[in-house]
Amino acid sequence: MIIATTINEVREARPHGAHIGFIPTMGFLHEGHLSLIDAARDAGANFIAVSIFVNPKQFGPNEDLASYPRDETRDKALLESKNVDLLFLPAVDVMYPSGAQTTVSVGAFAKPLEGERRPGHFDGVATVVLKLFNIVQPDIAVFGRKDAQQCAVIDRMVRDLDVPVKLVFAETAREHDGLARSSRNSYLSSEERKRAPALHRALRAGEEAITHGIHDVAAVETVMRRMIDETPGIEVDYLAVVDPETFLPPLDFRREVLVAGAVRIGRTRLIDNLRVARV
């Protein structure tokens, strides 16, 4: 595995004629990340590049940038075991040199839900992803659907700015009890970990309500809230039924909707979502 720390090293490592698959990450890798590597190969990539960069521009002033989990040695070993060809490990000043001023500004669909609670977050995501695309120049880039709004932001950016990359959105990787895999799960104590699947159960309750004919947003959100209230020690940030393109309440249920949630368990904030087919 080639390990590059500069932009020139990445560009020199790109083999001529290869079909490059790219997975951008913030490290502290888990099975969900590794499944994205498989998805890139399934989509036709024959050269796999992964980046690890904890992007300061997507963290708010009171968020967990300093404490975000890191384990570079373990990450390298996992990527070696998956036969990754290139690992890009840039420092902050490589990605954001002194004097850099240009950023990407995303649209209105990024303002609800995560955008409302994390101002500036998606501008930071879009900026770093576009920079990484320009550096790696992949043919395919893979993202997990756990971050549904992030996927929508990147998809819109690629279309609006004519970025020559094929996007693949892979299904959320889950633990045996439904908890979405996330690097932040490492923050959970053993007792908190037992409570964490309540978010997934609440979303499943919302999905079931919709498929059984409850086509009122407030009613479905009430069902989800009641389900999660059965587990003490969980602070609900939001439980919402939204249109997966606008992230606003759907006008009707005749096409796919998204049930999405964010909760806090102790110091850990978890997000998850489920797509519900049109009824």
What is the C-alpha to C-alpha distance for residues 276 and 258, in angstroms, rounded to an integer?
6
Range name among 106-110, 148-152, 265-269 with the lowest pLDDT average: 106-110
Q: How confident is the model at residue 62 (pLDDT cuts 50, 70, 90)?
A: confident
pLDDT value for 121 = 96
- Look at residue 173 in the predicted model and tell me its pLDDT: 96
Q: Determine, yes or no, domain membership for 278.
A: no
**176 within some domain:** no
Do residues 228 and 198 make contact, with C-beta atoms less than 8 angstroms apart?
yes
Per-residue pLDDT tens digits for 82-141 = 999 999 999 999 999 999 999 999 988 899 999 999 999 999 999 999 999 999 999 999
Range of the domain at 222: 183-273
Q: Is residue 178 part of a domain?
A: no
The answer to whether 20 touches 45, Cβ cutoff 8 Å, is yes
- Considering the chain, what is the average pLDDT of its residues? 96
Q: Rounded to whole angstroms, how far apart are CA atoms 246 and 231?
A: 30
Co-location of 252 and 132 in the same domain: no
Residues 240 and 197 in one domain: yes
Residue 279 lies in a domain: no
103 vs 54: CA distance, rounded Å: 17
- Count of structural domains, the chain: 2
Overall average pLDDT of the 51-79 stretch = 95
Structure confidence by residue, pLDDT tens digits, 101-115: 999 999 888 999 999
Q: Which of 19, 33, 121, 215 is catalytic?
A: 33
51 and 138 together in one domain: yes
CA dihedral 201, 207, 213, 215 (to 10 degrees): 110
* Residue 79 confidence (pLDDT) above 90: yes
Please say whether the beta carbons of 71 and 171 come within 8 A. Answer: no
Q: What pTM value is reported for the model?
A: 0.95
For residues 19 and 130, membership in a common domain is answered with yes
Buried b (16+ CB within 10 A) or exposed e, 161-170: eeeebebbbb
Count of beta carbons in the 10 Å neighbourhood of residue 149: 25
**Do 166 and 197 belong to one domain?**
no
| Shared-domain flag, residues 158 and 221 | no
19 is annotated as an active-site residue: no
User: In the prediction, which pLDDT does 17 show?
Assistant: 93
* Position 125 in a domain: yes
Residues 115 and 222 reside in one and the same domain: no
pLDDT tens profile 210-219: 999 999 999 9
Q: Per-residue pLDDT for 278 more than 80?
A: no
pLDDT band at 279 (very low <50, low <70, confident <90, very high): low
Q: Is residue 177 part of a domain?
A: no
Domain boundary among 138, 170, 202: 170
Same domain, 209 and 128: no
CATH number at residue 157: 3.40.50.620
CATH number of the domain to which 191 belongs: 3.30.1300.10
Q: Are 44 and 19 in contact (CB under 8 A)?
A: yes
Closest CA to 45 of 166, 164, 152, 162: 166
- Secondary structure element (H or E) that encloses residue 8, with its range: helix 7-13
Q: Which of 135, 170, 205 is the last residue of a domain?
A: 170
Structure tokens at 183: 């690097």
